Structure 1
Amino acid sequence: MANALANETSPYLLQHKDNPVDWRPWGPDALAAARERDVPLLISIGYSACHWCHVMERESFEDPQTAALMNERFVCIKVDREERPDVDAIYMDAVQAMTGHGGWPLNAFATPEQVPFYAGTYFPPQPRHGLPSWRQVLEAISDAWRARRDEILAQNDRIVAHLSAGARLAPSGAMVDPGLLDDAVDSLRMAADPVNGGFGSAPKFPQASVIELLLRRGEQTVALDALRAMARGGIHDQLGGGFSRYTVDAAWVVPHFEKMLYDNALLARAYLHGWQVSGDPLLRQVCEDTLDWALREMRGPEGGFHSALDADSEGVEGKFYVWSLAELRSALGDDELYDVAVAWYGATVAGNFEGLNILVRAGSASAAEPPELPEIRRRLLAARSTRVRPGLDDKRLTSWNALMIAALAEAGAVLERDDYLDAARGTASFLLDSLATSDGRLLRSWKDGRATLPGYLEDHAYALEALLTLYEATFEERWFTAARALADATIAHFADAEHGGFFMTADDHEQLVARRKDLEDTPIPSGNSAAAFGLLRLARLTGSADYEREAERVIALLHPLAAGHAMAFAHLLAAIDFQLGEVHEVAIVGDRAAAKPLERVVRAKLRPHVVLAGGTGEGDRDAEASVVPLLEGRHAVGGKPAAYVCERFACRAPVTDPDALAELLG
């Protein structure tokens, strides 16, 4: 008999609907049941592509005796961390404070008032490797609740204060030191892995925001080394495109095979920028392969993108992606192709993952692709397509879709790929049509025609950045209008009028044990960093001091933290770089087709200190009727398209020659 999760839309929650555990979704009914029964909450948090979440389900949550113990002693709540990042953030803070580490599955025990008093991650069914069994944990927590409840409750105020600490952070009053950007680059250069590329040791994550910061600050070597190393490694799906979430080794070879939409959106954009600064065709190829993979495998018919592909298929991690030599030979059916494939992909009898081969780009980084490679890929992909595919998390998350809109829009404009631009338009329309509320805000999640849950700061902040990027790519003013309305709604409902910055949840959100602020840019940009960056860009397109002021309040609050923790605040540092930099506001007016050479000048290089406005092809009528303030009063010159280069709306004489525009932009 199914439990209460059967009525949910989250694929992760639905995976647990047939467990004998009496799981409930997070909500007032579950909280009320804990109060009525006077038992603790057991809050188990994960996501559909989480390998160890599946393991713990098989070992413990499907076991009738273990489930009976859980049901008797606790009110058991299942949370999809991707749908409820607010709940996840609270209990992740708790587990990190209590144990010094975190991860998923996350299992927290809390009072009926939601205050956590014990938390951990994965627990095995029997004691091993120094970990108690899950049943031992259940017994111990239950005994403590009965015998030492006063002691547990006495900690409530201290724990709540800890969980709320970030939201109580106040600005120091110190001015932003421009030197912090150079210091950040120096620290990131020191943190780089000079042997394998990227940052840190195993497990190794892509760090797209760090790479972007380095590129915009002109530190090409470290950034390009990281991009090239990942492109050659097993973290990059050498056949189908796209990236896994991280590798378990330092050399980018053995991935944890789950593929997340957010990683691929961020990395596609980083590879585009890497190509713009280097001209390396490998980086452009990886950008396009990644976006092509997303369009092929992750896009739903309504225009939204699915969230993730599982690491497992047929219950085995990575089975869909790895190869024995016999499988390669069978799929290729040609000795010459087999020999080329084995050499190019570094395949061996021993393999590099449990006796099988994860395909990598072996050999010299500068080696040219063999002419046989397209046919090899075609045949291997055809063979792989017959395998059982990994599980798909097909919910559409607003924030992650916004990241993909931005990647598709910018790549479409720079690479002149109309299919990317059309896809970006389609996804933006999907968000605004299917996930917008009557008061101009966004919902969080969509699946099977149902949009659910109020949107968080990151949903609104990422969408603001995405809509501005789509406007700059297409000059279609509907996206600018939507971005400005979204910015106004974000400020109205998420801003902290007392200390500055933005709360993770809106002012009318469900009341949790703490109202937090999302501060750090790991693994993806924080809502605060994204809001600051988006508002700074919007201010340069509108001339509005109000947008700039709200962005500066974020920076005033967080720059002292960013100064010593560049890895954790890379997107915020990019916003600071934009704030302090010499930003050019470029307005291009006149016939759109005739103005294309001027556009190409702007898009030919990575120009992190440029915002771009333009007409859609109606010449001076665009400028007269435009809702974009930067276009007001700008006209073609002598019947020719013209570019105006401005700083804070003070413009130089317009130019009609692309070379002259290039000289102005540098």
Structure 2
Amino acid sequence: IPHFEKMLYDNALLLDLLALAYTQTGTKLFAERARETVTWLQRDMASEAAFAASEDADSEGVEGKFYVWSLAEIQSLLGPDTDFFAQHYPLPAQGNWEHSIILERVTPQGDAATETRLKACRERLLTRRATRIRPGRDDKILTDWNALTVAALVRASFAFNEPSWLAAAQTLFERLLAALGAADGRIAHAMRDGKISAAGLLEDHATMLRAALALYEATGVIALLDQALRLLAATEAHFSDHAGSFTMASADATDLPGPRLRNITDGPTPSGIGLMAENYARLLHLTGDPTYRAKAEALLAAHGGQPNRLAAAPVLLAAADLLENATCIVLTGGNPALTAAALAAPDPAIVILRIAPGQILHESHPAYGKSSAASAAFLCRGGICTPPVTTPQTLRAQLRQLPQNRNTP
């Protein structure tokens, strides 16, 4: 039985995972859960310029009261559909949690008629639940959790063919910058009732930079790359430890006593250092500028002597893989079908580069000299690009042929 509290970061990471899982498997349940998650975000979590931090577990002083049911209440709402519903969601008279019922699906997805009937039953229950007193909500805006949501919405918009989610991600990103951004390029950590309540941490800047790059990959808008580079400059200026890595708090932070700590361990959310390593790797593949390789390697080297901690730093390890083994899909000519196929690729170690008219890549990029005039896709890996691909079917086929072991050229 899950805890009843709903955290924004959990749902952002869940949405991102559902998108990846769906593109790899095509499992309809993943698509259904993703759409339900976004519906919940937009219906229940909108707050000021962004999404609220969490919903509490309690309402009226009772844990889970908003979410649980009695058998009598379900019978009164579903009537003759109760027995059918109970075949999929067991309804023990004595309850399955503290004498109440938490609805738990125990059957796999059925045919269209079954799923339509179950959905109608759930909607009747949801309508009744909406009349209850809601749990309390922590409505402060947290930059890092919202930035994770931006990146998740971007990936999910293409995985599930939901263009409005990309638009929502763009709007959310712009609102975060407007509400929490500062003149020096930094971004604050928290805001409530229009007032900044905490200075920005490394995680805030790393996640916003990652969100900017996700939007740039999705849209090809150069202004988003420029914004990413401004965030990078602010992060390096204020969080560098001058030894290749970053501290969790800025050098001029006055609200945190003691030394400036470095942390590579992922907790409920990715570590800022791991995300910065990923950001450097993505910038290398998006621009070809070898400066980003040098910075990524320095960051990885700064923590390479900590084998006992690396097992708890999967984001940092994934960034090392991305640096060396990513496939960069270079798109020219703006073909929407090719772009959609690339952005729905089922692999987090793929970077999308949409070459804009007149854009010139660094001479170190394997796609240097590729023209934006003709519509094509090039798969670039290990310093070499494939011949041009001109149909989404061929692109998807080539993506399926990428080596499972990315250490293999």
The TM-score normalised by the length of structure 1 is: 0.56
State the SS of the aligned residue for 1:586. Answer: strand
Question: Conserved in 2, the CA contact under 8 Å of 1:307 and 1:396?
Answer: yes
Q: Describe the shift of the 1:301–1:419 C-alpha distance in structure 2 as closer, same or farther (beyond 3 A).
A: farther
Structure 2 residue corresponding to 1:339, chosen from 83, 96, 101: 83
Report the Cα distance in structure 1 between the residues aligned to 2:394 and 2:180, rounded to whole angstroms.
44
Report the Cα distance in structure 1 between the residues aligned to 2:70 and 2:238, rounded to whole angstroms.
55
Deviation at 1:377, TM superposition (A): 1.2
Show CA shifts across 1:60-106 (max 9, x none): xxxxxxxxxxxxxxxxxxxxxxxxxxxxxxxxxxxxxxxxxxxxxxx
Cross-structure match for 2:406: none
Q: Based on CA coordinates, which of the two structures has the bigger radius of gyration?
A: 1
- The answer to whether 1:574 aligns with 2:321 is no
- The answer to whether 1:589 aligns with 2:329 is no
Cross-structure match for 1:256: 3
Question: Conserved in 2, the CA contact under 8 Å of 1:519 and 1:527?
Answer: yes
Report the Cα distance in structure 2 between the residues aligned to 1:444 and 1:608, rounded to whole angstroms.
27
Report the Cα distance in structure 2 between the residues aligned to 1:376 and 1:415, rounded to whole angstroms.
25
Cross-structure match for 2:18: 271
State the SS of the aligned residue for 1:587. Answer: strand
Deviation at 1:605, TM superposition (A): 3.3
Q: Describe the shift of the 1:388–1:663 C-alpha distance in structure 2 as closer, same or farther (beyond 3 A).
A: closer
State the SS of the aligned residue for 2:303. Answer: helix
Cross-structure match for 2:380: 646
State the SS of the aligned residue for 1:624. Answer: coil
Deviation at 1:663, TM superposition (A): 5.0
1:231-310 maps to which residues of 2 (within 5 A)?
Answer: 254-300=1-47, 302=49, 304-310=50-56
Report the Cα distance in structure 2 between the residues aligned to 1:349 and 1:386, rounded to whole angstroms.
23
Q: Describe the shift of the 1:348–1:559 C-alpha distance in structure 2 as closer, same or farther (beyond 3 A).
A: farther
State the SS of the aligned residue for 1:599. Answer: helix
Cross-structure match for 1:163: none
Cross-structure match for 2:346: 606
Report the Cα distance in structure 1 between the residues aligned to 2:190 and 2:19, rounded to whole angstroms.
28
Identity %: 37
Show CA shifts across 1:397-424 (max 9, x none): 0000000000111111232212101110
Question: Conserved in 2, the CA contact under 8 Å of 1:634 and 1:644?
Answer: no
Question: Conserved in 2, the CA contact under 8 Å of 1:493 and 1:507?
Answer: yes
State the SS of the aligned residue for 1:523. Answer: coil
Deviation at 1:507, TM superposition (A): 1.2
Deviation at 1:260, TM superposition (A): 0.3
- The answer to whether 1:657 aligns with 2:386 is no
Q: Describe the shift of the 1:462–1:601 C-alpha distance in structure 2 as closer, same or farther (beyond 3 A).
A: same
Report the Cα distance in structure 2 between the residues aligned to 1:376 and 1:660, rounded to whole angstroms.
42
Greater RCO (Cα-Cα under 8 Å, separation 6 or more): 2
Deviation at 1:560, TM superposition (A): 4.6
Instruction: List alignment gaps of at least 5 residues for structure 2.
Output: 402-409
Paired residue type of 2:242: A
1:395-544 maps to which residues of 2 (within 5 A)?
Answer: 395-498=140-243, 500-510=244-254, 512-544=257-289
Report the Cα distance in structure 1 between the residues aligned to 2:191 and 2:177, rounded to whole angstroms.
12
Question: Conserved in 1, the CA contact under 8 Å of 2:277 and 2:300?
Answer: yes
State the SS of the aligned residue for 1:452. Answer: strand
Report the Cα distance in structure 2 between the residues aligned to 1:526 and 1:463, rounded to whole angstroms.
13
State the SS of the aligned residue for 1:341. Answer: helix
Q: Describe the shift of the 1:271–1:256 C-alpha distance in structure 2 as closer, same or farther (beyond 3 A).
A: same
Q: Describe the shift of the 1:465–1:390 C-alpha distance in structure 2 as closer, same or farther (beyond 3 A).
A: same
Report the Cα distance in structure 2 between the residues aligned to 1:627 and 1:481, rounded to whole angstroms.
14
Report the Cα distance in structure 2 between the residues aligned to 1:602 and 1:370, rounded to whole angstroms.
31
Paired residue type of 2:378: Y
State the SS of the aligned residue for 1:356. Answer: coil
Report the Cα distance in structure 1 between the residues aligned to 2:21 and 2:116, rounded to whole angstroms.
25
After superposition, the CA RMSD in angstroms is: 2.3
Cross-structure match for 1:319: 65
Deviation at 1:301, TM superposition (A): 5.1
State the SS of the aligned residue for 1:608. Answer: coil
State the SS of the aligned residue for 1:524. Answer: coil
1:615-654 maps to which residues of 2 (within 5 A)?
Answer: 622-625=356-359, 633-636=369-372, 640-647=374-381, 651-654=385-388
Number of corresponding residues: 395
Report the Cα distance in structure 1 between the residues aligned to 2:305 and 2:110, rounded to whole angstroms.
45
Report the Cα distance in structure 1 between the residues aligned to 2:101 and 2:235, rounded to whole angstroms.
48
Deviation at 1:660, TM superposition (A): 4.2
State the SS of the aligned residue for 2:316. Answer: helix
Paired residue type of 2:191: W
Deviation at 1:634, TM superposition (A): 3.1
Instruction: List alignment gaps of at least 5 residues for structure 1.
Output: 1-253, 616-621
Deviation at 1:655, TM superposition (A): 3.1
Q: Describe the shift of the 1:352–1:560 C-alpha distance in structure 2 as closer, same or farther (beyond 3 A).
A: farther
Cross-structure match for 2:137: 392
Question: Conserved in 1, the CA contact under 8 Å of 2:287 and 2:361?
Answer: no
